[in-house]
Amino acid sequence: MKLSDITNVLSFAAFRPDSDDSSCMWRKRFPNKQTLFLNFSKEIVSWRSVNKDGFLGDENSIAGPIKEVVEDMSADWMDLTDGGWCAVSINHRFVISLETNLTRKNGASELIRTNPKAVLGSKSERGKRYALKHNDESNSSILLAVDEDYIKEIETLFKSSGLNIGRICCGIYGMLAESLDQISEAQKDYKENGDEPLGNVILVTCCEGSVCILKSDQEKWTELRSRNSLYTQEDMGPLRKIMAPILEDHGANAQIVLNADKSVEGINEMLSELAPKVRINDISDSYGLWDLLKNK
């Protein structure tokens, strides 16, 4: 197994079908071909096409149950692709948790896909698919669990509609992992330059109505809260409610790192109100999830 395979599993290729190649990013896997990216939330399906030159098309979305949307839109989606190839992000029916003392034997992050009990022991549940990201500086790990029936439902729907799924992942988990990698690189730079350490970091990741908040003390992850399908742009109250307690006790020399999609307009103002003395480092990308799908 290549080191790149393990890295890709940790970051964004958590639930890849057998036809996928985790060592090859999406835009290189389908050169000079049109493909399609889709994101499924509880009540909304959004999508963007990718043209033969690798550029993203306009974002579109439609509300409704996944089954009905796929059946209604499959012909239109086929017209946006060469061969019906799609990458799918799910942002519903998942759990992200903070765990300690999970095995770190070689290949554990790959083994968890095929034999989760060997990695999780009694924490493993039937009917779940897992992905795992370890903290290299402590004994804590972030564990993603997704209902297997939900994944199979999507795979069956696409297959019956003539569409081919090249990759299935969890959008917010991918954004969380990407944010942690950026923070880790920043911490290394601080050490190499002899600067003051970053201090406490509160990472807030938002994607299509779901949120994950990870609190750290220096490089140690200490608290995690995650909810899927929590808020809408019209009702940000639930998002504010879940963030408030964790932002109240932020400690000295803390900073907030924000990685959010455009569906949470006004979140910077909300964070400033909840933690007025804390610096906000916004690493959000205007394309966010879509760029990750293309480049992972």
**pLDDT over 80 (residue 294):** yes
pLDDT at 108: 80
pTM (two decimals): 0.88
Six token digits for residue 188: 């290394």
pLDDT of res. 197: 67
173-285 to CATH, choices 3.30.420.40, 3.40.50.1110, 3.40.50.11540, 3.40.50.12780: 3.30.420.40
Q: How far apart are CA 205 and CA 260, in angstroms?
A: 6
Q: What angle do CA 63, 69, 73 make, to 5 degrees?
A: 120
Q: Please report the sign of the dihedral spanned by the C-alpha atoms of residue 45, residue 9, residue 14, residue 239.
A: negative
Residue 195 has what pLDDT?
A: 67
The full set of domain ranges for the chain reads 3-91+147-170, 100-143, 173-285
Query: Which CATH architecture does the domain made up of 3-91+147-170 adopt?
Result: 2-Layer Sandwich (3.30)
- What's the CA gap between 65 and 45, in Å, rounded? 9
3-91+147-170 with 173-285: one CATH topology?
yes
pLDDT tens digits, residue range 197-236?
Answer: 677 899 999 998 999 999 998 888 999 999 998 998 889 9
- Cβ-defined contacts of 57-64 (< 8 Å, 24+): 59/290
Residue 196 has pLDDT above 90, yes or no: no
* pLDDT of the residue at 201: 92
Sort 166 into a burial class: Cβ within 10 Å, 0-12 / 13-18 / 19+: buried
Q: What confidence score (pLDDT) does residue 3 get?
A: 44
The Cα 123–Cα 41 span in angstroms is 26
pLDDT at 149: 93
